[in-house]
Amino acid sequence: MSQTQRSKRPARARNARQAGTAATRSSPAHKFFIYKIGILRRALDRYSGPGLVKRSGLTVAEWRVLTHLYEAPATALELRMQGHADKAEISRACAGLITKGYVRADVDPHDRRSAVLAITARGTKLHDAIVPLRQELQDELEAWLSPREIVEFHRILDKLIARLADRIRPAR
């Protein structure tokens, strides 16, 4: 989509509202925290993703996979379960990391049809170089909150993640 097309959309919407052809109403869904968390995640990805790519060459999805593999080797299915991500996203991220030499794939001794993915020394070095950059982003965001809000936010997120993890099973 061209810049001209993007800039015309808000004007068309504004003109439609002024002409009375579009109702000015708000969806109740916009007040749901599940909606707001989705917006927050996309905003964080859009805000931090370009800098991550520029500084490391990794996409946000590749970074997430690398952080999981930093802790321990895993299969693609395990990565999907840990990150609650879809199959295609994990597949693309793993393929990119393997191609770049940050991850290696070994045959799973328990299921020869599957691969166990492990971070390489090069991947570990990159991970360790990126963590301070991600900490800068974390510090920037935390500066907008009080210490009490930060603790409470983490507590609530951890609780929701744990409860949902107990209820969902990834599609194979």
pLDDT, tens digit (0-9, with 9 covering 90-100), for 18-54: 655 556 788 999 999 999 999 999 999 999 889 888 9
Its CATH class, for the domain covering 28-167, is mainly alpha
pLDDT digits (tens, 9 = 90+) for 124-172: 999 999 999 999 999 999 999 999 999 999 999 999 988 988 888 655 5
The ranges assigned to domains in the chain are 28-167
Is 117 in contact with 78 (CB distance < 8 Å)? Answer: no
- Enumerate residues 6+ apart whose C-beta is below 8 A from 84: 164, 165, 168, 170
Residue type, 18: Q
Distance CA 41, CA 53 (A): 17
Residue 169, sorted as left (phi over 0), alpha (psi -120 to 50) or beta, turns out to be beta
